[in-house]
Amino acid sequence: MRPVGHTCTRWPATQRNIARDPCDWLVPATGRTDAKLSMPLPAARLMQKDHCVRMDELRQAAIDRLPPPVSEYFNQGSADGITASAAVAAWDNVRFRPRILRDVSVVSTATTVLGRELATPVCVAPTSMHRAAHADGEVATARGAAAAGSLMAVSTNSGRTFEEIGATAAAWWLQCYVLRDRGLTKAIAQRAKAAGASAVVLTADTPVVGRKHNAGKGVWDVVPAGYHMANIDQDGLPDSALDKADDLTPDTISWLREVSGLPVVVKGVLRADDARIVASAGAAAVQVSNHGGRQLDQSVAASDALPEIAAAVQESGAEVYVDGGIRRGEHVLAAIALGARAVFVGRPVLWALTAGGETGQGGSAGVAAVLSQLTAELGHAMALAGARTVSEITSDLVA
């Protein structure tokens, strides 16, 4: 049985020559059964041309709509922003060696992460302040991810409760900051599992928070307190209880797996030796990440660190994911060819939540549209590269 995903079928021959972009090239298949499939295609899988937007245009639309401190918070990097500003260019620098004379009449973007079937390897990275982008916050993001056949990592700082997110029936993981108060961390993880989280993403690169420079007021000066930490009862807690722990060790992985009862993904890995350590300590997956350029400035680009990390854990059974600077389907193709099983996108989702979708009103439709567009672009790039399935996107495609 062919996996259900964004399965791409060519337009009729009379229309092929006028196709100018991936959204032209892909058949808009909404809730129909294709003769080449044994299962119906889920709704909202592929998009028509008028839903395609450039990421820089989407970013600008979000900037125009958001209060400046919120927009700054979404887009800023740490210190001088060197790492953050270099992320997209690092993916742009990857070059391909496409295969020819391959039958790519049907291309599928379906994949699995930690055993869960997804229609796309493009997933939602954990970010904060979704309610500052849209009134429905993380609930809208979760619905959009579900509509695109994707998966969402939900921040510890979520502005909507885990129960509300779980009620969307979206596939989701908890992103976890281990706090100095380990009992509070345990309670957060267990609450997330009870609400439907199927993995915990341990953010390991924040012993302290990277310094940021604000042009004026900060985001915390303009947004209501209820926009974050909806899953933490702060009444009576000392301020220090919410401080991020700065004493994490590899043993934290097994502790978190024990108290949550969930597989642990370690996020923030940029070195092969660290990847081997976390895999040996029981991590189910490693996520190559420099935290969107928001922690140590001048850190290596995720795209540059990815190949050595993928090679380091190849025999361990741990999966590899990557985030940071993914803006086009070709970037996703490059990431998978360099060793990632899936990619996670953060800022584009926030922009789409703010101002995406056919009407430009954001919300779940905006999130679904940006994820579906990246997936459609990936399918198009796969066909051009001679890869019919995600498993055929291999390292030989990269020059």
Q: Specify burial of residue 196 (Cβ count, 10 A radius: 0-12, 13-18, 19+).
A: middle
CB-based contact 356:53 (threshold 8 Å): yes
d(CA 8, CA 106): 6
Q: What is the DSSP string of 68-130?
A: HHHHHHHH--STT-HHHHHHHHHHHT--B----S---SEEE--EEETTEEES-SEEEPP-S-H
**Around Cβ 303, how many Cβ atoms within 10 Å?**
26
> Looking at the annotation, which residues are catalytic?
291
For 360, left (φ over 0), alpha (ψ -120 to 50), or beta?
Answer: left
What is the DSSP pairing of strand 264-269 with strand 319-323? unpaired
The H or E element that residue 251 is part of is helix 251-260
Structure tokens at 300: 């290596």
The residues, ordered by sequence, that sit 6+ positions from 277 with a Cβ below 8 Å of its Cβ are 250
Sign of CA dihedral 67, 72, 74, 75: positive
Structure tokens at 183: 């009992």
Q: How many CA atoms lie within 13 A of 331 on its CB side?
A: 23
Residue type, 329: G
Map residue 204 onto helix, strand or coil. coil
d(CA 355, CA 345): 16
d(CA 341, CA 71): 30
